């Protein structure tokens, strides 16, 4: 098995599904954000797992309304052809006030199959 070195890419080089999700997430556009995921996708955020489109949509709606924050993409990496990491800096009215989070994406059929969000 070949090991892949993570490669820094520009935000414009991220796959379309990832950029669609990230832009919709920034715009609090849940309807568009959910279309970036496969129907059976998994999201892991704050240690909780959300499986399938309905659960992901609920998670998106809650995260869009729970806190007010700005989100800035600070780094993007390609791990291999279907795995990417997008690092974001968030500032807002959540506990701690600012945080850097890594969004780890796994793609299938040009859609997000798995997203893990962690510091």
φ/ψ bin of 109: left (φ > 0), alpha (ψ from -120 to 50), beta (otherwise): left
| pLDDT, position 106 | 98
| pLDDT, position 2 | 55
Q: What percent of the chain has a predicted confidence (pLDDT) above 70?
A: 97
- Report the predicted TM-score, pTM, of the whole model to 2 decimal places: 0.91
| pLDDT, position 7 | 95
**How large is the average pLDDT for residues 46-64?**
92
Is it the case that residue 8 has pLDDT exceeding 70? yes
3 state SS of 60 = helix
**Between residues 67 and 80, which one has the greater pLDDT?**
80
pLDDT interval class at 28 (50, 70, 90): confident
Measured CA to CA, the distance from residue 42 to residue 92 in angstroms comes to 26
Angle 79-83-84 from CA coordinates, rounded to 5°: 75
pLDDT interval class at 31 (50, 70, 90): very high
| Average pLDDT of the residues of the chain | 92
Domain boundaries, given as residue ranges, for the chain? 7-118
Please answer whether residues 21 and 37 qualify as being in contact, where contact means their C-beta atoms are separated by less than 8 angstroms: yes
Give the architecture (CATH level 2) of 7-118. Roll (3.10)
User: Strands 69-80 and 83-92, how do they pair?
Assistant: antiparallel
């Amino acid at each position: 098995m070949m090991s892949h070195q993570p490669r820094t890419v520009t935000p414009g080089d991220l796959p379309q599904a990832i950029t669609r999700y990230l832009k919709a997430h920034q715009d609090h556009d849940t309807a568009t954000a959910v279309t970036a995921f496969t129907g059976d996708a998994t999201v892991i955020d704050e240690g909780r797992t959300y499986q399938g489109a309905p659960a992901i949509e609920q998670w998106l709606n809650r995260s869009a309304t729970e806190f007010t924050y700005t989100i800035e993409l600070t780094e993007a990496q390609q791990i291999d052809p279907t795995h990417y990491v997008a690092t974001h800096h968030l500032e807002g009215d959540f506990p701690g006030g600012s945080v850097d989070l890594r969004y780890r994406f796994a793609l299938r059929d040009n859609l997000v199959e798995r997203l893990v969000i962690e510091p």
